[in-house]
């Protein structure tokens, strides 16, 4: 056998091997495309969204009532239910109370949780907060609550998605104009 015939034979065997390999690759299952998870709606209905919002506000109120203004760590559970700008405002208020040695007696409650809107992930509701049993006192035991404070305060609350048991946090908690308690 000559060098040329051996080379041709080797080239033929190599070609057959590559062809077989190509055919095997063509028979191999194609990798499945990886799917990217699509974000699903957090709530299946307005009623479900408003129920979660009310549960969120109840948990926030409970956490607020459980605070001891002389112990900054007792306030941490309140922040879990807030996001900015509500969280920033709350941190500022609690810092002032702590610095000025203000203490609180009594608890706030709420009623009339009124759904307003649920659109694009933003839930808005109105509540009447009763602070009639709450007093803020200074280190000398003197009340620092303004004498003209309204005992039942109308608030508008905005909720957005958050990492809590209800999947919501409070984004805004402001006086509701035109809403009476």
Please give the residue range of the domain that contains residue 130: 46-175
Contact predicate 136/103, CB 8 Å: yes
Residue 12 lies inside a defined structural domain of this protein: no
Residue 86's domain is classified under what CATH number? 3.10.450.50
Domains held by the chain: number: 1
CA dist 73 and 27 (Å) reads 63
> Strand runs (DSSP E) across the chain, as ranges?
103-105, 109-119, 122-130, 135-137, 152-161, 168-175
Residue 29 lies inside a defined structural domain of this protein: no
Residue 7 lies inside a defined structural domain of this protein: no
Q: Round the CA-based radius of gyration of the chain to a whole number and report it.
A: 32
Residue 56 lies inside a defined structural domain of this protein: yes
Residue 147 lies inside a defined structural domain of this protein: yes
Q: Which residues neighbour 83 within 8 Å (Cβ) at sequence distance 6 or greater?
A: 160, 162, 169, 170, 171
> Which among 95, 115, 106 has a CA at the least distance from the CA of 156?
115
Element (H, E) at 179: none
- The first and second tokens of residue 50, run together, are 């408003």
pLDDT of 44 reads: 85
Residue 36 lies inside a defined structural domain of this protein: no
pLDDT of 43 reads: 86
Residue 105 lies inside a defined structural domain of this protein: yes
Residue 39 lies inside a defined structural domain of this protein: no
Per-residue tens of pLDDT for the chain, all 181 residues: 543 444 334 333 333 333 333 333 344 445 555 544 444 568 888 899 999 999 999 999 999 999 999 898 999 999 999 999 999 999 999 999 999 999 999 999 998 899 999 998 899 999 999 999 999 999 999 999 999 999 999 999 999 999 999 999 999 999 988 888 9
């Amino acid at each position: 056998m000559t060098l040329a015939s051996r080379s041709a034979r080797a080239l033929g065997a190599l070609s057959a091997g590559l062809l077989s390999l190509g055919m095997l690759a063509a028979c191999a299952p194609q990798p499945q495309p990886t799917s990217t998870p699509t974000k699903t709606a957090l709530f299946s209905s307005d009623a479900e969204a408003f129920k979660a919002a009310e549960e969120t506000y109840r948990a926030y109120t409970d956490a607020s009532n459980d605070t001891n203004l002389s112990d900054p760590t007792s306030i941490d559970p309140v922040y879990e239910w807030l996001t900015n700008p509500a969280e920033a405002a709350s941190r500022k208020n609690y810092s002032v109370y702590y610095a000025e040695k203000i203490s609180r007696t009594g608890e706030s409650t709420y009623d009339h949780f009124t759904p307003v809107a649920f659109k694009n992930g933003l839930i808005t509701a109105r509540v009447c907060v009763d602070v009639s049993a709450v007093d803020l006192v200074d280190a000398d035991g003197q009340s620092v609550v303004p004498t003209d404070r309204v005992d039942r305060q109308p608030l508008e609350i905005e909720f957005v998605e958050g990492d809590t048991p209800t999947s919501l946090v409070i984004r805004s908690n402001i006086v509701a104009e035109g809403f009476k308690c």
